[in-house]
Structures are given as structure tokens and as C-alpha cells.
Amino acid sequence: MVIGHSVARQTGTIMITRIINRLMKGILQRTDNSSYLNFTLSHDKLLLVFLVLFVFAPTTLFAACVGAVGENAVNSCRQELGTNPYNLEARLALATTLDKLGRKAEAIKVLNQGMPLFQDDAVSKSTLEEKRWVIQQQRGKRSTSNAAVRVKIIKCTKLKGKTALKACDEGLLRQPENTDLLVGRGKALLDLAPPKVIDAIYSYKKALSIAPSNQDIKRKLEYAENIRQISVSACMKKSGKAALSACNRALLKGAIDEASIQARRGKLLAAINSDKKASVAKRLKTNNKPVKQANSQIITVKQNSSRPLSSSPSSQITNAPPVVARTFSNAPLLSGITY
């Protein structure tokens, strides 16, 4: 029957407690010619030393195996399994650490080596098989994903404009913290017409937060900042819509000049709105003028039509013969009557 590591530790602790109680009853002897304690080499003390070495030494290795990271954890777990190959927790911890380090083949090998040790323990064997299956699935997915991301990196860094930007965004969906994709995205944003300087700065800053010692990223970020300063200068010196457009391009949240740019934008918007109102008022005034002239002409015509007819030239004609109206009839003519 295989005894687990935790059970062995508890059993050893109980045995050590009993032995210490026996030692306290008189095994220790004090000599008359020395000032140090002299232990009698008895069967109990030899058993005590053996249990301390067997129980507590592996416990220290196991704690380092579970608590440490990287190669330190790997070494501690291997030593622990060398002392107690039936320690399931140490075997799983070693496989997990190797998996995180990218050494998946070694992780699967460690799990396979534990399978024959737990033939009679269905639960432990099932745990090892499940862990192995998870690592194998991740191994296949990551290899496919990495190949796809490499293609996106090539397109992102070699192409330009919208095509490059699309490849960068698609690659970042798979690996959001890939510095190559973040830097390529910043360059693609600067290649657009007009360039999206603020978005490029954000992309460079995120890449720099991941790799703070990367000098190439620092230089690219400084270049983007210099482009932004050109827009800041245009925002402050120009006027009208050109200045407002420059302010919009230069506005960076959290920057030192954010407040001054916002204030400048407010003044430009107020001036542009004032000019718009004046232009609308002028246009309305111009459109209403012909209507007033037409109304005055209509009034003049009405006044002229109300004057007497004698004032007109036709009314000055006098002694005109009266106009006799003649009537015509279809009746037959009668004889003896002059018509």
C-alpha cells in the first residue's frame, strides 16, 4: 500500500512527539567534567534522527517545489520526486512549472512517468491524465496561434497604411501585449493621411510599458511626440477652422498641455459660432430686401389705380360722337319699310 507524503508527514510528527516525551524523562545525562549536554546514543535517538531526516527534509523540498518559480521550482520538484516519487502534488507542480516555461514535452514526460506508479489509484491516475490532456491541447492551439500571429507581424511591420493597420489589430486580438505588433501599429497610424498621432502615441506607450528598456520604442515615441508638438503650435498660432483642426489632432489626455489646448479650443469654437451667426444674419437680411421692394411696387400700382379717369390722356378727348349700338336680327324684311 502506498502512503502519501502528507500522511507520512503526519505519522512522523506523532512518532517524534512520543519520542521527545520519552527523552524528556531522563535520556539526557549531564557530565561533571563538561558544560555541555551529552546525549546517550540509544535506539530512540537514532530513530528520532532518522524520522527528522525522512519527514522534514522532503517537506522543505516540497515547499520550495510548490512555492518557488522558474528553474528553482523545477530543481526542487525533481529533488522531491527523487525522494518520494509517489508525491502527486509535486509531480503536478513540476508539470505546471515546465508548461509555463514552454517546455511542454518535458511536462508531458513527467506526467507519463507517474502513470505506472498510480495504477491502483484511479483518482490520482485520472488527475495525471487530465493534466496531460490539457497541456497537449494548449500545445496544439498555441503552435497554430503563433504561426498566425507571425504572419500578422510580417504584414503589420512591412506593409503601410490601412492594410498594415488591419493586420496589426488582428494580431493584437490574439496577443494583446506583443510589442512588435504595438510598435507596428503606431507606425501604421502615422502613415495614414491625415496621421492619427494620438493613437500612435498610445500604442507606443503601451509597448514601452511592456518593454521599458527598449530604446527603439523610446525613439519612436519621441518622434510621435514631436509630430504632436507641430499640431500644438498650429493650434495656438493659427485661427479659424485650421486652428481648431490642429487642436483636435494635438489633444492628448493626461498631457501637460491638455488644459491649455482645451481652453484654446473653447475660444476657437466661440469665434467660429459667432462668425456663423453673423453670416446667417447677413444672408437673411440680403434675402429679405427684394421682397420689400416688390411690396412697395405693388403699393404704388394700387395707388395709381385709385386716381380718376379724367387725369388720364384718353379722358381729355372732347366732342367725340356718341357711339350708337346696333342690333341685328334674323327677322325677314318687310316691304314698304326703309331699313
Domain locations along the chain: 5-30+37-114, 145-273
What residue type is 111 in one-letter code? L
State the pLDDT at residue 298.
Answer: 54
State the pLDDT at residue 223.
Answer: 96
State the pLDDT at residue 314.
Answer: 47
Contact 228, 250 (CB under 8 A): yes
pLDDT digits (tens, 9 = 90+) for 35-46: 444 444 455 555
Q: Please give the CATH topology (third level) of the domain spanning 145-273.
A: 1.25.40
Q: What is the C-alpha end-to-end distance of the chain, expressed in Å?
A: 160
Phi-psi region of 336 (alpha: psi -120 to 50; beta: other; left: phi over 0): left
What residue type is 106 in one-letter code? E
State the pLDDT at residue 66.
Answer: 79
State the pLDDT at residue 192.
Answer: 93
Which residues are CB-contacts of 62 (< 8 A; sequence separation ≥ 6)?
5, 76, 80, 87, 89, 90
Strand partners, 37: 30
In order along its 339 residues, the chain shows pLDDT tens digits of: 334 444 444 455 555 555 555 555 544 444 444 444 444 445 555 555 555 555 444 457 778 787 777 888 888 899 888 988 998 998 999 999 888 888 888 999 999 999 899 888 888 888 898 888 888 877 665 555 677 888 899 999 999 889 999 999 999 998 888 999 999 999 999 999 889 999 999 999 999 998 888 999 999 999 999 999 999 999 999 999 999 999 999 999 999 999 999 999 999 999 988 878 777 777 777 776 555 555 555 555 555 555 554 444 544 445 555 555 554 455 555 555 555
Classify strands 37-39 and 28-30 as parallel, antiparallel or unpaired.
antiparallel
Displacement of CA 69 from its chain's centroid (Å)? 29
What residue type is 133 in one-letter code? W
Strand partners, 28: 39
What CA–CA distance (Å, rounded) separates 105 from 113? 12
What residue type is 236 in one-letter code? M
What CA–CA distance (Å, rounded) separates 148 from 156? 12
273's grid cell: 459660432
49's grid cell: 534522527
CA distances from 98 to 41, 105, 227 (A): 45, 9, 46
CA distances from 278 to 29, 51, 144, 238, 289 (A): 111, 98, 64, 21, 17
Contact 159, 175 (CB under 8 A): no
What residue type is 282 in one-letter code? K
Q: How crowded is the C-beta side of 89, counted as CA atoms within 13 Å?
A: 12
